Amino acid sequence: MSNSDKVRDAYPTVDNPIIDGDMADYRRCYMPGRSYFFTVVTERRAGILASDTARDCLREAIRHCRLTLPFAVDALVMSPDHIHMIWVLPPGDGDFSKRWGII
């Protein structure tokens, strides 16, 4: 195996992802220490994120998660029915799925 093959296999890409087997047609690329962009939409696009209480709950859930599984939030945009976030995970850790599960 050449050095370029070793590098390619060590770092997942769109062409060479690490696939999460939990969901049949869903691919997740886990790359430790990298930045990730997420869009999360509420069920049936319900406008549940419009209230101050809902926003406070989301902030608290993120704080709670970061106590056990740290990550940086570089950006967060909230709309009534969806959020956009950019996270940076720590070196050696690419498990954003577990964090979303806690949140």
State the 10-residue block means of pLDDT for the chain, 103 residues long. Answer: 51 52 65 95 94 95 97 96 97 95 96
CA 51-54-59 angle, 5° bins:
125
Check residue 13 and give its pLDDT: 55
Residue 61: predicted pLDDT: 97
How high is the pLDDT of residue 27?
A: 73
Phi, psi of 91 (to 5 degrees): -55, 140
Tell me what pLDDT residue 52 has: 95
* The residue to which tokens 């056990």 are assigned: 68
What per-residue confidence (pLDDT) applies to 7? 46
